[in-house]
Chains A and B, each alone.
Chain A
Amino acid sequence: MMSLLGSGGAVAVAGCFGGEDPRESDGDIQFLTMGVGDNIEEYFEENNAAFEEEFDAELDFTSVTWDNAQSTLNTRVDGGEAPDVSRLPARWIPQFAGKEALVPLDDLMEGEFGDQFYEGLVESNYYDGHYYGAPWAQSNKCLYYNKDVFEEAGLDPKDPGLDTWDDMLDAAIEIRDNASTSPYGLPANEALETGSQYCHYHWSFGADLIDDDRNPAVNSDEGVEALSFYSSLAQEHEVTQPSPLSSSRQDVRRLFENGDLGMVIAHVYAGLNIEDSDQDFDYGIVQVPEGPAGRYNLSTVDSLVIYTQTENEDLARDLFEFYYDEERRFEYSKQKGFLPVVESVAERDFFTEDENWAPFVEASEYARSRPKISNFSEFNNRVVTAIQETVGGDKSAQEALDDAQADLEEILE
């Protein structure tokens, strides 16, 4: 009976999620990564084998799902079972660096090795006076539009005029009134995705999430203006798909990929997916629209890090050198559908000449990272609650952001 009443054991049980125990392996080095799907499985199989042969080592390679990634790493680090090397989103670096779980890589990143990356990406790995990782993958977003839907709505698909948010809204209203498709995809159900979509608006209206003194600053006049505009898309103008609070980023991406949406802000792989599918509609890609304070593009960076619990730091560094070989980076970006992190790779014709890739390479000009906050998830969840309250019509932007600001001041205390 007691075991059935085991909510008390929930944490202990949950600690087992994703709970492979690679320490049981005889491998010389453990490399943990996330979300290795069909498109990149072979790449890792071949390269891991090549690494083992070149360095006469055993490589224990594990991939966990993104859903389990954070809990797996937290549990393994706290339990003294950290991998030697792992991929992780750069936004987690403050948390793990705070636990003294990551090896500072200043010597690597300040030397020749670090020079191969875009400067902004290198900075994503900088926290509290040290570089804790090397950029492994980056993604940013652009605005896709469906040319067939634009034509149906009487808009010019060759010159869509989507430079500013107001331009985008005008086009969306035309589509709402003259076409049979939902004009604009607005995901608002999942915390991380909702926050990452909203960042573009918040920043381009001149607002910030935290100020220079690292205090929350979400309810500035500019922030209220940004969120008011954002929620007006659903509430006042009704130019979004029905029920944005039910929709994830994947939902709206799929809608666009199926030709059921006029516009969506999405990653490069939305275009790559359409190319690979048998859809026959035509689409265009432009930069994320500009706001009153400029144009910004959320740059999401994943990093490769070494854990302080490693007993094989030299071999871990060899793994770095191995996987940052230019040709390997090119193959990774090409096959995985992530923007290159190495400048020389990004400058290759494959990326600069391709109509799917080129706008995203250009978008790097407007790149901006999320603020570095050790309890980012908690911060983001609270901001997203305010976004959902406004998009759902429960509160005005001012009320929602004022409430969020009060809570965030406690969270960041």
Chain B
Amino acid sequence: MTSVNQEYNEQTTDTRIEWLRTEVLANYTAYLLITPAIVFLLSVVAYPILETFRLSLYQSPTNSPVETFVGLDHYVAIFQSDIFYQLLWQTGRWVVASVTLKTVLGLLIAVHLNQQIAGRKFFRTAFLIPWGIPYAISAVVFRWIQHPQYGYLNAILLETGLISSPIGILGNTSTAWFGAVLADVWIGTPFMAIIFLAGLQSIPDDLYEAAAIDGAEWWHQFRYITVPQLKSVILIATLLSTIWTFVSFDVIWTMTRGGPMNSSATLVIWIYRVAFDQGSLGEAAAFSVIGFAFLLVFAILYLRLYTRGGESL
């Protein structure tokens, strides 16, 4: 059977244009109806991306009124700088730790909320609250919790004798990033839990009943029924969470501003600092384009990896 693709490839350019013209004329109402959507997409999605890329080729106004074309100079400088590799490592560390914790905790909460427990409705609602609070507010709360003088975390540790003097989690280069991860996990876990819960509810009970009759323990049921059945939900949830965490700004900015000594800065924090603290819009745009490329490649690889068995989402 000749596929549509083969048929299309066998056409010459002229016949293709002719085919396109006929196609559009034959279905002009449909094309007319989707035109606003296309224009909308081009203006709100394509234009900012192209404009960011254009900006990255210019020495944009920092202390100069003129935009000077510098080609790929910003990219070369970024790839030659130490801070870029430091930021990559720190961004990766932030994303992996945060998404992993959110996924594992979200899954555990979802599995428990899926049981017939007393007050199930209340807990389902209560677990959503952290996600409903503005990120910046939650970040401020966590900053206070971890504050060496006023935070109750230190108060508890001091009271129980685990530490002898207050510790500043956000003031230590080794721990500041993890202090921010804690806040991000608290904020982001409910989303994961709700998505997983929706997925769990779509798994037929028959599977568990059959497994139980066969003598499968809880762990085996979880491993061989729950996880495989949730695969596509886990894929989408972790992909979205990875992207959101990668571009997350407010939590880190509110808690540490990327410090101390840039130890908790991620690519997005750096983009903001370069753009608005230092006024170098061109360099910030170049960082943005690189970050965008990383995410795009990641998303494509991730989707391919999970769908290579021919399974679609």
A binds B: yes
Number of B residues near A (Cβ < 8 Å) is 59
A394 interfacial by beta-carbon distance below 8 Å: yes
Chain B positions within 8 Å of A3 at CB level = 44-45
Assess whether A5 is in contact with B243, with CB atoms less than 8 Å apart. yes
Q: Which B residues touch A5, using CB under 8 A? A: 243, 292, 295-296, 299
Whether A95 contacts B63 by the Cβ 8 Å rule is yes
Residue B257 at the A interface, CB < 8 A? yes
User: Of residues 120 to 162 in B, which have CB atoms within 8 Å of A's CB atoms?
Assistant: 147-149
Give the number of residues in A that approach B within 8 Å (Cβ atoms).
49
Give chain B interface residues in 260-309, CB to chain A under 8 Å. 260-262, 267-268, 271-273, 275-279, 281, 284-285, 288-289, 291-292, 295-296, 299
Q: Which residue of B lies closest to A376 (CB)?
A: B278
Alpha-carbon gap, A95 to B63, bound state (A): 5
Min CB distance, A165 to chain B, in Å?
23
Asked if B228 CB lies within 8 Å of chain A CBs, one says no
Tell me whether A243 and B172 are in contact (CB under 8 A): yes
The answer for the CA separation of A392 and B55 in the assembled complex, in Å, is: 38
Please name the residue on chain A nearest to B244 by beta carbon: A4
Q: A392-B173, A394-B261 are in contact. Are A242 and B149 (CB under 8 A)?
A: yes
* Stretch from A9-17, A214-222, A352-360 forming part of the interface with B: A9-17
Contact with A along B226-249 (1 / 0, CB 8 A): 000000000000001001101101
Of the candidates B65, B165, B256, B275, the one whose C-beta lies within 8 Å of that of A11 is B275
**B interface footprint on A172-199 (CB within 8 Å = 1, 0 otherwise):** 0000000000000000111100000000
Q: CB-nearest residue of chain B relative to A385?
A: B261
Alpha-carbon distance A5/B246, docked complex (angstroms): 9
Query: Shortest Cβ distance from A102 into chain B, in angstroms?
Result: 11
CB-defined contacts of B62 to chain A, threshold 8 Å = 95, 98, 374-375
- Interchain CB contact under 8 A, A389 and B243: no
Would you call A7 and B267 a contact (CB within 8 A)? Answer: yes
Interface residues of A in 8-53 (CB under 8 A from B): 8-14, 17
Complex contact A242–B63 (CB within 8 A): no
Cross-chain pair count, CB within 8 angstroms: 162
Are B291 and A378 interface neighbours, CB within 8 A?
no
A2 & B49 in contact (Cβ 8 Å cutoff): yes
Question: Is A337 at the interface (CB under 8 A from chain B)?
Answer: no
Q: Could you mark each residue 216-246 of chain A with 1 if its beta carbon is under 8 Å from any beta carbon of chain B, else 0?
A: 0000000000000000000000000111111
Q: Which of A66-99 contact B (CB under 8 A)?
A: 70-71, 74, 78, 94-95, 98-99
Q: Contact check, B260 vs A70: say whether CB atoms are below 8 A apart.
A: no
Q: Pick the most buried of A10, A101, A189, A374: most chain B CB atoms within 10 A of its CB.
A: A10
Q: Say whether B105 faces chain A, with CB atoms less than 8 Å apart.
A: no
Majority-rule SS of B interface residues: helix
Given contacts A385-B262, A392-B260, A394-B173, contact A14 B149 (CB under 8 A): no
Q: Is there a chain A Cβ closer than 8 Å to B61's Cβ?
A: yes
Provide the bound-state CA to CA distance between A63 and B262, in Å: 30
The answer to whether residues A12 and B52 also contact, given A98-B64, A375-B279, A377-B277 and a CB cut-off of 8 A, is yes
Query: Looking at the complex, which one of A6, A247, A394 makes contact with B292 (CB distance below 8 Å)?
Result: A6
Q: Are A1 and B299 neighbours in the complex by a CB distance under 8 Å?
A: yes
Tell me whether B63 and A98 are in contact (CB under 8 A): yes
Query: Closest chain A residue to B51 by CB distance?
Result: A12
Interface residue? A116 (CB, 8 A):
no
Once the chains bind, are B279 and A246 in contact (CB under 8 Å)? no
A119 in contact (CB, < 8 A) = no
Q: Is A251 an interface residue (CB 8 A)?
A: yes
**Residues from 160 to 186 in B contacting A, C-beta threshold 8 Å:** 165-173
Q: Are A4's CB and B240's CB within 8 A?
A: yes
The answer, yes or no, to whether B71 is at the interface (CB within 8 Å) is: no
Give residues of chain A (370-405) contacting chain B, Cβ–Cβ below 8 Å. 374-375, 377-378, 381, 385, 388-389, 392, 394
Q: CA of A95 to CA of B276 in the docked complex: distance in angstroms?
A: 12
Within B38-82, the residues touching A (CB, 8 Å) are 44-46, 48-49, 51-53, 55, 60-65
- Chain B positions within 8 Å of A365 at CB level: none
Q: Find chain A residues with CB under 8 A from B256 CB.
A: 189
Partner of B61 from A8, A99, A243, A375 at Cβ < 8 Å: A99
B259 CB within 8 Å of chain A:
yes
Task: Kindly list chain B residues whose C-beta atoms are within 8 Å of the C-beta of A290.
Answer: none
A343 at the A/B interface (Cβ < 8 Å)? no
C-alpha gap A372/B172 in the complex (Å): 32
- From A13, A188, A190, A394, contact of B257 by CB (8 A): A190
Q: Are A255 and B149 in contact, CB atoms less than 8 angstroms apart?
A: yes
| Chain A positions within 8 Å of B49 at CB level | 2, 6, 8-9
Q: Verify A246–B276 contact, CB threshold 8 A.
A: no
Interface check A302, CB cutoff 8 A: no
A8 CB contact (under 8 Å) in B53, B168, B244, B278: B53
Docked pose: A147 CA to B81 CA in angstroms: 50
Known: A7-B288, A11-B288, A243-B171. Is A189-B260 also a contact (CB below 8 A)?
yes
Given contacts A1-B299, A14-B271, A189-B256, could you give 13 more A-B pairs where the C-beta distance is less than 8 Å? A7-B246, A8-B288, A13-B48, A17-B276, A241-B148, A245-B168, A245-B171, A246-B170, A381-B277, A392-B172, A392-B260, A394-B173, A394-B261
- Can you list 20 pairs linking A and B with CB atoms under 8 Å apart? A4-B240, A7-B247, A8-B53, A8-B289, A9-B288, A11-B271, A11-B285, A14-B272, A14-B276, A70-B276, A70-B277, A95-B279, A98-B63, A189-B170, A189-B260, A242-B167, A245-B168, A246-B148, A377-B279, A378-B278
